[in-house]
Amino acid sequence: MIVDGRQAPVVPGVSILDAARGAGVAIPVLCHHPALPPDGSCRMCLVEIDGRPGLHPACVVPAESALGWLVPEATVEVHPRDAARLGVADDARVRLHSRRGTVTARARLTPGISEGTVFMPFHFVEAAANELTHAAVDPVAKIPEYKVCAVALEADDRA
């Protein structure tokens, strides 16, 4: 496997994440822990895979003879029907607005997300999803609550 231009040895059954680490490529993770079964829920570790549409969680997808890249900039997953309605093309720059802020990112069209919703990872400094959400804490667990908020999405004609 080649990840970010580096050759990564692939052992059958190993994940893209572990293969990349073997090649010295650090992929950020949140929900992944080596002592727990792979979950793939936070999507912090999304990568592109040559020849496969969409983004894939490196911690759960097995490494194969594939080319993989770290996602180079902030992206937001959008259902293709929503994108068509909004006039947004795949890889186009879009703006997301909430009551709390605005960020821009590249649209990734995927039928893997429910129509009427979008998803974006929150670790890109140039498009911090936390700018859109709030700082509420779960009243029982006293940890930040799951980040969900209403947003409006539009094409960013300035790009």
Q: By CB under 6 A, what part of segment 52-111 binds ligand FES?
A: 57, 59
What is each CA distance from 105 to 29, 64, 73, 75, 159, in whole angstroms? Answer: 20, 29, 8, 5, 10
Among 10, 16, 20, 45, binds ligand FES (CB under 6 A): 45
Contact in structure between 63 and 49 (CB atoms under 8 Å): no
Which DSSP letter does residue 137 get?
B
- Could you give the 3-state DSSP secondary structure of residue 139? coil
Taking the complex as a whole, the smallest distance from the CB of residue 41 to ligand FES amounts, in Å, to 6
65: which 2 tokens? 């003879």
Residue 21 is inside which H or E element, if any? helix 16-22
Which residue, 92 or 120, is less far from ligand FES as judged by CB? 120
- Identify which range of 26-34, 62-70, 108-116, 126-134 contacts ligand FES by CB under 6 A: 26-34
Tell me if 2 contacts ligand FES by CB under 6 A: no
Among 1, 32, 95, 107, binds ligand FES (CB under 6 A): 32
Taking the complex as a whole, the smallest distance from the CB of residue 106 to ligand FES amounts, in Å, to 19
Sheet holding 2-3, edge to edge: 6-7, 2-3, 67-70, 46-49, 52-57
Please tell me the number of Cα atoms within 13 Å of 31 on its side-chain side.
Answer: 16
Tell me if 30 contacts ligand FES by CB under 6 A: yes
Taking the complex as a whole, the smallest distance from the CB of residue 36 to ligand FES amounts, in Å, to 11
- Identify which range of 30-38, 77-85, 118-126, 132-140 contacts ligand FES by CB under 6 A: 30-38
Binding footprint of ligand FES on the chain (CB under 6 A): 29-32, 40-45, 57, 59
